[in-house]
């Protein structure tokens, strides 16, 4: 008996399938006419309160815009300030510092490698130029 009573008095929150079953259940047949009227009145009251809250929020947002305009703040300035702050915050993170350091080091190595390749190509062209000039200046080698 106690195990059966425990099943009816579960304290765990509803899970997926249970929520669907409760949402699709029709409890209106279990309510008296008086309870239905009370719930309908509460529903109307809640809808009115929500409407009022939306109107208050809208008025406060308009007031906020007016104050910002008086202070010379506009959307573009706010975006710039937010971007600058976010950029600064990001640059101060450890991950950014490590990444910046790694990429800087890699850039230096790449620059050195390109410089070495450029030097090697220049040397090769220099050798080729010498070889061409040398063969032109020695007519005997051309006739062979």
**41-61, pLDDT tens digit by residue?**
999 999 999 999 999 999 999
Counting residues of the chain whose pLDDT is more than 70, the rounded percentage is 71
Q: What is the pLDDT of residues 61-93, one digit of tens each?
A: 999 989 988 888 777 888 888 889 998 888 889
Confidence of residue 1 (pLDDT cuts 50, 70, 90): very low
Domain interval for residue 85: 29-93
One domain for residues 87 and 105: no
Report the distance separating Cα 112 and Cα 120, nearest Å.
12
- pLDDT score at 112: 86
Last residue of a domain, one of 93, 115, 136: 93
CA 89 to CA 103: how far, in whole Å?
19
Task: Report yes or no on 139 lying in a domain.
Answer: no
What is residue 81's predicted lDDT score, i.e. its pLDDT?
84
DSSP character for 92? T
Cβ 22 vs Cβ 14: under 8 Å: yes
Q: How many CB atoms lie within 10 A of CB 128?
A: 10
Domain count within the chain:
2
- What pTM does this model have? 0.37
Structure tokens at 132: 């061409």
């Amino acid at each position: 008996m106690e195990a059966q009573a425990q099943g009816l008095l579960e304290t765990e929150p509803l899970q997926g399938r249970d929520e669907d079953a409760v949402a699709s259940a029709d409890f209106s047949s279990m309510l008296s006419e008086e309870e239905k009227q009370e719930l309908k009145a509460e529903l109307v009251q809640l809808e009115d309160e929500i409407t009022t809250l939306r109107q208050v929020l809208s008025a406060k947002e308009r007031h906020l815009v007016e104050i910002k305009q008086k202070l010379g703040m506009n959307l573009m300035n706010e975006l710039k300030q937010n971007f600058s702050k976010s950029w600064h915050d990001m640059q101060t993170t450890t991950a950014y510092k490590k990444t910046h350091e790694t990429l800087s080091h890699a850039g230096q190595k790449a620059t050195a490698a390109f410089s070495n390749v450029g030097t090697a190509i220049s040397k090769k062209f220099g050798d080729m130029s010498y070889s061409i000039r040398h063969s032109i200046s020695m007519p005997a080698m051309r006739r062979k």
